[in-house]
Amino acid sequence: MAGTTPRQCAANNRAVHFTSELWLPRPRDEVFQFFSDAANLEALTPSWLHFEILTPTVVLRPGVRIDYRLRLYGMALRWQSEISRWEPPELFVDEQRRGPYRRWVHTHTFTEERGGTRVCDAVEFEVPFGWLAGWLVMRDVRKIFAFRTQALMTRFGAPSNT
């Protein structure tokens, strides 16, 4: 079962909330370990973004910063995120420190459920240039998370034999 729910935050017209949930038939420790390796982020990112991690050998922990490069609409973008919370195997949060958004906070949660793991992504972001940019960004965020959902289902979709 997979689903995504975008919603506009009523308290701040610029803040947009996006959520995505996916149940995977694998143990939480296995799923969290996959997410713990920053190199796996490339496998969860569509090729049309030309995503590349620039920080060599990243070990995720609170305070670690990761630099990326990507292309969007023909523009080269640099992005830096920081792991602001790290609570294995339940959750972690990455926040943009430098990049194209005014604000980007991505909370990843992992819950044991029905013999597998529910992976929840909650993103809150603000974009420059108002509602039109927000609409365009939301369209791209939906496509990125649809790709991510498919990649995770391909990787973890088969039940574990253990």
Contact call for residues 102 and 128 (beta carbons, < 8 A):
yes
CATH of the domain at 49: 3.30.530.20
pLDDT at 142: 93
For the chain, which ranges sit under pLDDT 50? Answer: 1, 4-12, 162
Q: Would you say residue 74 lies in a domain? A: yes
pTM of this prediction? 0.86
Q: pLDDT tens, 114-127? A: 999 999 999 998 88
Number of structural domains in the chain: 1
| Cis previous bond, 89, omega within 30 | yes
The verdict on residue 162 lying in a domain is no
pLDDT for 131 equals 59
Q: What local confidence, expressed as pLDDT, does residue 6 receive? A: 40
Q: What is the pLDDT of residue 120?
A: 98
* Predicted pLDDT of residue 10: 36
Query: Is 123 part of any domain?
Result: yes
Domain ranges, residue 88: 2-156
SS3 57: coil
Whether 115 is covered by a domain: the verdict is yes
> What pLDDT, on the 0 to 100 scale, is given for residue 5?
43
